[in-house]
Amino acid sequence: MGAILASVVWSGAVAVVPRMVQGRSSAQSIHGYHAIDKICEAGKLTAFRQKYKMVDNYPLEHTGRSDSMDIMRCYALMKRSVSGSDTPDYATLDIRVELHKTVDSSPEYAATRHYFEQQKFEIADVPNLGQEAYYAYGDEPTSSDKTFHDINYYLVVRDGGMTFSLYWTDNYQLGKDATLDRDTVRKAMLDDTRDILKAIGGK
């Protein structure tokens, strides 16, 4: 479900606010970033691996290269033991990096942020990360039983023609299941993001 939602967000953001992505300006520098084959392996995901165990056969990593844009993608399914429960807590991590070589990436960045605002996500700027960055957080019931919730975190970064997103999702049942607290998740997202960006040429 996490991968599907992430794809919907990235494709839907531009569709929701098309006026924000018209009239593109020229491409910006990609600031020394470069495509690699396995971004999660290179970035190590140290912070999340301290909290979770990677499920067998994960992460899944893919890279595509072209004259106009390089794309790197990593998807991971993780689990951790929860005190007092026989059921592990599962979470997903979906990372996407785009290196825009021929167009300005800032309109799409702005459109995606506007999408989260329209969906009533909580938004918080992240200082000292790329040219601009923000967290987006949402918590909502998953079915007619309002005790079941999905929680969704995004960390989105733009640095010249490089755009980065880390999407983390988990779920819980009110009064029964425990997930990591928000500060812990945000710190892990930030730490692993910095490591990945360094691995692909960032400062």
* Per-residue pLDDT reduced to its tens digit, 92-102: 999 999 999 99
State mean pLDDT over 136-152.
88
8 A C-beta contact, residue 155 and residue 126: yes
Dmax of the chain from CA atoms? 56
Q: From 167, 33, 162, select the one nearest 95 (Cα to Cα).
A: 167
pLDDT at position 1: 46
8 A C-beta contact, residue 22 and residue 186: no
Give the burial string for 79-95 (b: 16+ CB within 10 Å, else e).
ebeeeeeeeebebbbbb
**Tokens 């991968």, residue located:** 3
State mean pLDDT over 143-155.
89
Mean pLDDT of the chain: 87
The pair of structure tokens assigned to 32 is 């020394």
CA 14 to CA 110: how far, in whole Å? 10
Q: From 106, 162, 101, select the one nearest 129 (Cα to Cα).
A: 162
CB-count burial class (<10 Å; 0-12, 13-18, 19+) for 54: middle
Report residue 60's pLDDT band, with 50, 70 and 90 as the boundaries: very high
The pair of structure tokens assigned to 162 is 């490089």
pLDDT at position 103: 93
Q: Would the CA dihedral through 130, 21, 61, 6 be positive or negative?
A: positive
Q: Using one digit for the tens of pLDDT, what is the confidence trace for 8-31?
A: 454 444 444 444 444 445 678 998
Name the amino acid, one letter, at 198.
Answer: K
